[in-house]
Structure 1
């Protein structure tokens, strides 16, 4: 009985050559260099190619197979014919060791300045991490750079890069590479000042003429200065006597955060499941969630009697602990581990949820929240979260265009 072919393993001590070509790009460059290297015993180990504003950088790592001088000569003639600069570096084996302990470091800002990149990459080098690849995944409305990094400790890098990010007014995320960034996820968002620009209870309070009073209480609760449940009961009491019809008025007045529709639409295309948890009220949140394709909703309910708000809530308050519990419940219903969840929020009552999720993102949050979340987004565009998940802007726009054409 014949045996299946065994995978070919390159000799880790075999001599190798790294060819790097740079210059003006044109069709046929890649074909020409690989045709030149088509010699007995020469095997391709690695290839990296990038074109920026028509300038090509192509790196090819091959085994030599006893053909070193011939391979170099043929590559040099190919480069000359293409009017490209060629550098050749000899070595041994593949570059597998630099792939150990792989991470993705994402830099997001508006703008991203050279000194910010220098500070972050300098910190990576100081901590013994190597940058294997860099690419830009968005230019508008924010600039996002994604760095493939190896050899760094994720917790150390999160802590130290957050200091550099704060000093240079950018956001930095450190995430595991590989399969951890792929596959279906559950993304759960706070509503007030995250999915929407408003605080629903303040819109309701405006109808009672008590908006400033309620806003002051909300601010203290979001900063963690007072207990959320206590603050909610105090604020809802201000709504006593309002007609139930004001809920329709508030639903019509709610403004989505810029990028919210794009975020939801793109994540749904990718097969993600969405949820919202709110310290606000399901009477307003649920219709909005249905419109955006959000499957899971948790929030507080207002008591209504004879068509009038009583100034009380029904059932247990969805507070800081309640939001984390909702995240766990949503994940269990989708048969997803917590490591496959992403939570987004801005206030102190989101902290437990952000901590429980596989990735906790503070969105335009208070300093207390930014300090404790895995990463933060400090630009007013909710779809910037896509870039932290490794989804390029160009792919989002291509999908939108394809849908529009179809």
Structure 2
């Protein structure tokens, strides 16, 4: 009978690690059920869920992986997963998927705490968290930075309107933008974004800038401020 095993590897990232690990697995006709990798500050966290064929010895492949990862100075752990546990996990993956996007000058622990608490309260589980923006320099002023992270969540919220209201409320309280959308083909195929420019994308009113060029800046600025 085949065996399902969760393999976790962590350590300093090095070129060729994925190739090294999967090459050993290939010798045993290993089937990949799930795989994920993240690198933060050159530190690798790598997980893979595999099925070892019934005619292969799992102890042999685990021994080979453990020996090679030790040579490459990586920490590795193994956890057996029952067929029943795997079936329940797969069933859960069939739930609706949503994307929560958090946009701010700088990402704080408080922001993530509130966003993740709202998702949990509405029956959503976080599958992945991905950084979409570049890495900020420590000495750079927050006013000059921008940060964006994306949560991939799964579940069936009892009331989507209540969920959106909670995100809107916490976004206003923390001064951040939070977008919530269904993770569908339509979302992935979008290629156009339309939104307000003045005092949104840029911290200015374009009509005021044009008025300055035309020599009537003070008069027009008075009108736009009144509006």
Structure-2-length-normalised TM-score: 0.76
**Aligned structure 1 segments of 4 or more residues deviating by more than 6 angstroms:** none
Query: Is 1:90 aligned with 2:80?
Result: yes
What does residue 128 of structure 2 align with?
Answer: 133
Unaligned runs of 5+ in 1: 1-12, 219-406
Unaligned runs of 5+ in 2: 137-144
Instruction: Determine which of 43, 50, 60 is the counterpart of 1:70.
Output: 60
Which deviations, in whole Å up to 9, do the C-alpha atoms of 1:67-99 show, x marking residues without a partner?
332332222222212221112222233753335
Contact 1:193 1:199 in 2 (8 A): no
Instruction: Determine which of 138, 159, 164 is the counterpart of 2:165.
Output: 159
- Please list, as runs of the form range in 1=range in 2, the aligned pairs for 1:244-393 lying within 5 A after superposition: none
Q: Distance in 1 between matches of 2:101 and 2:221?
A: 39
Which deviations, in whole Å up to 9, do the C-alpha atoms of 1:358-383 show, x marking residues without a partner?
xxxxxxxxxxxxxxxxxxxxxxxxxx
- With over 3 angstroms needed to count, the CA separation of the structure-2 counterparts of 1:31 and 1:142, relative to structure 1, is same
Instruction: Determine which of 46, 57, 70 is the counterpart of 1:58.
Output: 46
Question: 1:209 offset after TM fit, Å?
Answer: 6.8
- Please list, as runs of the form range in 1=range in 2, the aligned pairs for 1:194-209 lying within 5 A after superposition: 194=200, 197-198=204-205, 200=207, 203=211, 207=216
Q: Which has the higher contact order (CA 8 A, sep 6+)?
A: 2
Query: Is 1:172 aligned with 2:178?
Result: yes
Contact 2:36 2:46 in 1 (8 A): yes
Question: 1:159 offset after TM fit, Å?
Answer: 2.2
Q: Distance in 2 between matches of 1:160 and 1:217?
A: 32
- Please list, as runs of the form range in 1=range in 2, the aligned pairs for 1:10-159 lying within 5 A after superposition: 15-40=3-28, 42-66=30-54, 67-91=57-81, 92=83, 93=86, 95-96=89-90, 97-98=92-93, 100-139=95-134, 141-153=145-157, 154-159=160-165
Q: Distance in 1 between matches of 2:52 and 2:13?
A: 26
Secondary structure class of the residue paired with 1:165: helix
Which deviations, in whole Å up to 9, do the C-alpha atoms of 1:196-254 show, x marking residues without a partner?
62263893998397446523541xxxxxxxxxxxxxxxxxxxxxxxxxxxxxxxxxxxx
Q: Distance in 2 between matches of 1:208 and 1:48?
A: 55
Larger Rg: 1
Question: 1:110 offset after TM fit, Å?
Answer: 1.4
Contact 1:124 1:152 in 2 (8 A): no
Which deviations, in whole Å up to 9, do the C-alpha atoms of 1:314-352 show, x marking residues without a partner?
xxxxxxxxxxxxxxxxxxxxxxxxxxxxxxxxxxxxxxx
Secondary structure class of the residue paired with 1:188: coil
Question: 1:17 offset after TM fit, Å?
Answer: 0.9
Question: 1:28 offset after TM fit, Å?
Answer: 2.1
Contact 1:105 1:148 in 2 (8 A): yes
Q: Distance in 1 between matches of 2:201 and 2:101?
A: 22
- The CA RMSD measured in Å over matched residues stands at 3.1
Contact 2:34 2:50 in 1 (8 A): yes
Q: Distance in 2 between matches of 1:166 and 1:56?
A: 35
- With over 3 angstroms needed to count, the CA separation of the structure-2 counterparts of 1:149 and 1:206, relative to structure 1, is same
Secondary structure class of the residue paired with 1:37: helix
Contact 2:28 2:52 in 1 (8 A): no
Secondary structure class of the residue paired with 2:152: strand
Contact 2:34 2:49 in 1 (8 A): yes
Structure-1-length-normalised TM-score: 0.45
What does residue 139 of structure 2 align with?
Answer: none
Aligned length: 206
Question: 1:186 offset after TM fit, Å?
Answer: 4.2
